[in-house]
Amino acid sequence: MMLRLFQLLTVVAVLAAGGPAWADADVETEYTQTRIVAEREGFVPGEATWFAIDQKVIDGWHVFWKNPGDAGLPLDLGWTLPPGYEVGEILHPVPQFIPVGPLASFAHEGQPGFLISVAAPEDAVPGEVVNIVIDALWQACEEICVPEETQFEFSVPVLATADIRSETALLFARARAALPEVLDNPARFERRGGAYLLTIDNWDGTAPADAFFFPRPDGLITPAAAQTISLANDALTVSMEPGWTDAGEADVVDGVLAYKRADGGRAGYQVAAAITGSLAPPPDAFVRAANTNVVLLLVMAFLGGLILNAMPCVFPIIFIKAAALMQSAKEDRATVRAHGLLFTAGVLATFIFMGGLLLALRAGGEELGWGFHLQSPLVVGLSAYVLFLVGLNLAGLFTVGENIAGAGQSLATKPGAAGAFFTGALAVVVAAPCIGPLLSAPLGAALIQPPAVGMAIFILMALGLAAPYLVLSLSPALGRYLPHPGEWMVVLKQALSFPVFAAAAYFLWVFARQTNDGGLAMLLFGGILLALAAWLFEISKGDGRRAVILRAASAAAAVLAIAPLTRIENASGTSTQASGAYGAIETAPYSDEGLASDRAAGAPVFIDFTAAWCVTCQFNKLTVFKNKDVVDAFKQTGTVFLVADWTVRDPEITRALQSYGASGVPLYVYYPPGGGAQILPQTLSRKIVVDALNGAD
């Protein structure tokens, strides 16, 4: 009696002192309602106390199991506790198989309950109060997926003894009943031919109905592929299609064999199966993964590449394409077709090279995203030089192609053949880093899928980008619509040089954002040397000693222009964001801590993931963020505007992009007060931003 009175007085004293009272923590987000409940009245020294994470998911949506299937983010809890307190593993209920188009999720619907234990140290002192902070993150999905996060903060007393709380008994009973039952039967996991087999010996009874094995290792099986169950000689066998990875150096494969109960509900066995032999996927597993799991992503990659032709990102290259089409008008049909194929080859080769390099660097631990090459001042400076030379060529300062040697290679000797290939390459280097509609999901998947699938996505994007030019060059019927050649073409070709010069100037501006003033001066002087090199090259045409000297001087001038770029580094400690880029909107640089702090304070937050080299980003700044209605909406709603500037490499911003399923910019994310993330379209409008800030449906 005296002990219970002491415990009661301890809690009352905490309340009277104004400290945080122990209470169940309950948070409602956009798609879920989550509360954390303790089973006992407090911690007991040397003993474990169970906590239940009770979630209510809105109809039609789901949250994820430990292995989410094809994609997803399971529940993650970051506990802040005093030294000596140990947090156990999250126990999930039996997962469900949820088909999502050609893919599949391993997830939970309805009201899943998760259990986790926290052990108090032996030297915990009764009468103390333990303050607990939990940073929680999970993902809710329907046809789209939305990451949700929150922070729980509460206190739990330390008691000499603690009883089970009667008001939570039903909740914990329901959560434990939903856990898989531990199966003690001997089990083994092996590969036979093109399938993985799980065999459970001494099976008692008939084969379970509507059964599915959910392995814990991610990528071990193909999530969407059907499984077959058979029973022979008291051994139950589950046959599965291998995925894109093996079990590594593990000795067992653990997972849950879920099945349908007689009453229609779901139950499951927790299985630990000894691995016998190698689990390396058969050679054709990668092909099956691409065909079975990412068909929709491949279609989106092609359509996204096609739409990329109409995005502001491609503006720097449109005029070069126009000049190439105009040149094709005076060629025979065979040459036009060859140029179309060469342009496509240039696009494909550059996509394959850049995609392969990105996948290789990420496999080596680098935190990079699509467009990583333009985070390098060297690449940006070279891009400015290339565009400048293209402009000089269109203006008529010099010409190339007439003297290309190619004995036995008739195609290579045709004027413009090399130009067609490198125009395709330049289109990718300059234009592709901006992420157009439909490309966020394929690019994000390309960085986490097996390499073969990732490369297939890059190839489909390339074909989509090249498709309009290729179709026009291969179709005789469409070719009739090309203009007839004439003197006017010389004037138009010269006129097209000016927008190309403008594109070069744009990259010059990007270079200035990435480097110090000395770097900009060096690039400007290098441009003069390049122009000199082009002029010397033009007047060197012919034979004799004079031609050799002029060509050597041209090459020397080009080397002097380009060589200093190799020593340029990113400006350190300097903001790459131009002053006044957002007009009257007050901005702050993005950081994970800043976002968490603003959201904890209940403020609405708008994040602009941007880069100086992203044309779509700059287009939106000029046309949307400086609009008076948009400025007023930010001021009236008190929305915090965070700028995640990705102009130069920033691992924190790369990780943030990945958390939203994106691999590049632009990306616009809005957090309403107390709500989850809302992803806005890449091409913004005044109405889209204002409606989002004002909470319009």
* Res. 656: pLDDT tops 60: yes
pLDDT at 364: 55
pLDDT at 512: 76
Contact 523, 511 (CB under 8 A): yes
First to last CA, the chain: 58
Share of the chain above pLDDT 70, in %: 76
Delimit the CATH 3.40.30.10 region(s) of the chain. Answer: 587-693
CA neighbor of 139 nearest in space, from 697, 661, 693, 695: 661
pLDDT band at 516 (very low <50, low <70, confident <90, very high): low
Mean pLDDT of 253-267: 87
* Res. 7: pLDDT tops 50: no
Query: Which residues fall within 8 angstroms of residue 348, CB to CB, at 6 or more apart?
Result: 424, 459, 462, 463, 466
pLDDT at 446: 64
Each residue's pLDDT tens digit, 358-415: 677 655 555 555 555 566 677 777 777 877 887 787 788 877 644 333 322 333 334 4
* Res. 290: pLDDT tops 80: no
CB atoms within 10 A of CB 174: 14
Contact 583, 569 (CB under 8 A): no
**Measured CA angle at 262 (ends 185, 101), to 5 deg:** 90
List the CATH code of the domain at 182-283. 2.60.40
pLDDT band at 115 (very low <50, low <70, confident <90, very high): very high
pLDDT at 619: 80
Of 154-168, 258-272, 345-359, 549-563, the least confident:
345-359
Q: Which CATH class is domain 22-178?
A: mainly beta
* Separation of alpha carbons 83 and 248, rounded Å: 33
pLDDT at 281: 61
The pTM for the full model equals 0.47
pLDDT band at 39 (very low <50, low <70, confident <90, very high): very high
* Separation of alpha carbons 689 and 620, rounded Å: 11
Strand residues in 70-210 grouped as ranges (E): 76-80, 86-87, 96-100, 103-108, 113-119, 129-141, 145-157, 181-182, 187-192, 195-200
* Separation of alpha carbons 86 and 216, rounded Å: 23
* Separation of alpha carbons 36 and 75, rounded Å: 13
pLDDT at 294: 58
**Positive or negative CA dihedral for 596, 597, 603, 608?**
negative
Each residue's pLDDT tens digit, 606-631: 999 988 777 778 888 888 998 899 99
* Res. 496: pLDDT tops 80: no
User: Which segment, 132-146, 287-301, 499-513, is predicted with the most confidence on average?
Assistant: 132-146
Phi-psi category of 83—alpha, beta or left, where left has phi over 0 and alpha has psi -120 to 50? beta
* Separation of alpha carbons 567 and 634, rounded Å: 42
Please report, for residues 128, 210, 600, the alpha-carbon distance to residue 197 in angstroms, rounded to integers and kept in the order given. 52, 17, 48
Each residue's pLDDT tens digit, 292-345: 455 777 787 888 788 777 665 565 666 666 666 666 655 666 777 787 888 888
pLDDT at 447: 59
Delimit the CATH 2.60.40.1250 region(s) of the chain. Answer: 22-178
Architecture of domain 587-693: 3-Layer(aba) Sandwich (3.40)
Contact 400, 420 (CB under 8 A): no
Mean pLDDT of 138-151: 83
pLDDT at 338: 80
Q: What is the CB-side half-sphere exposure of residue 497 using CA atoms within 13 A? A: 17
Of 123-137, 233-247, 353-367, 583-597, the least confident:
353-367
* Res. 571: pLDDT tops 60: no
* Res. 575: pLDDT tops 50: no
pLDDT band at 438 (very low <50, low <70, confident <90, very high): low
